[in-house]
Amino acid sequence: MTIRKLLLFRFVAALLLPAAAVSLAATAADGHAAFKYKVNLPPSAELGYAVTAKQSGFPLDGKARVTWQTADGKFMLDTEMRAALFGKILDARTEGEIDDFGLAPAVFTEKRLRKEAVTASFNREAKTIVFNQSNASYPIKGGEQDRNSATWQLIAIARAAPAKFKPGSEWPLFVVGARDAEAWAFKVLKHEKIRTPLGELDTVHVLKTTPSGSHNQQVDIWLAPALEWYPARIRYTEPDGDFIEQTLTTVAKKTPG
């Protein structure tokens, strides 16, 4: 394997590690709870991000684009990432409706570099979540998210209850990946100023946690209340110090439709 291919593999694997498989038997046995929160959806927008990373000691960079649209009780979320030298390495798309629990995904599709697209389908009529590349299935109890929509459900929760979204508070969700699902919890750490191409921003620093033993990757999210609570920065950090970081560079609000 060439150094270029190795770095690409590490870059994509590190970015998508939250999708790492968990024990399906354990998940089926433990089940999951419904999570119902009051939500306030942010305005439709297209967000641009600068991507920096260190993989196997080598620096890498790239760009990401996130398109968020909501209108008439429905939503669409599209995430695209490109890495310098490698081109597009990730396409993730979620479409769904808004219900009493907040975002209600219908279909989550993810396409990685040189891989077939994988899909998770939320069958609301049968109240079951199924996958096109896995035999796993989960019941729909309410509030389930996919790993593309989870951050935006969190944003909607924070916008609806900013006084409760304070350091020390935790916000659990049940999150679906490409082939399985697991419980996540978002813990609010602190208020923090960060520097971005948009200037210095006041943010709320949130840490995503998962069950003990599922994986050791740390995911940090900085939400910017002054910018509709959009993510100002997201950072994925490995135990060996390697990381991938996305920092907000542009915000373009869009007319719903």
Q: Is residue 145 part of a domain?
A: yes
> Over the range 43-61, which residues count as b (16 or more CB within 10 Å of their CB) and which as e?
ebbebbbbbebbbeeeebe
Q: Is residue 180 part of a domain?
A: yes
Q: Is residue 116 part of a domain?
A: yes
Q: Is residue 24 part of a domain?
A: no
Q: Is residue 62 part of a domain?
A: yes
Q: Is residue 25 part of a domain?
A: no
Residue span of the structural domain in which 162 resides: 3-18+31-253
Q: Is residue 23 part of a domain?
A: no
pLDDT in tens, the chain (257 residues): 454 544 454 555 455 444 333 333 333 434 589 999 999 999 999 999 999 887 777 787 899 999 999 999 999 999 998 887 777 778 999 999 999 999 999 999 999 877 889 999 999 999 999 999 999 999 999 999 999 999 999 999 999 999 999 999 999 999 999 899 989 999 999 999 999 999 999 999 999 976 555 556 788 999 999 999 999 999 988 877 788 899 999 999 887 65
At 169, which CATH number? 2.40.360
Q: Is residue 67 part of a domain?
A: yes
Q: Is the dihedral of CA 23, 28, 29, 32 positive or negative?
A: positive
Number of domains comprising the chain: 1
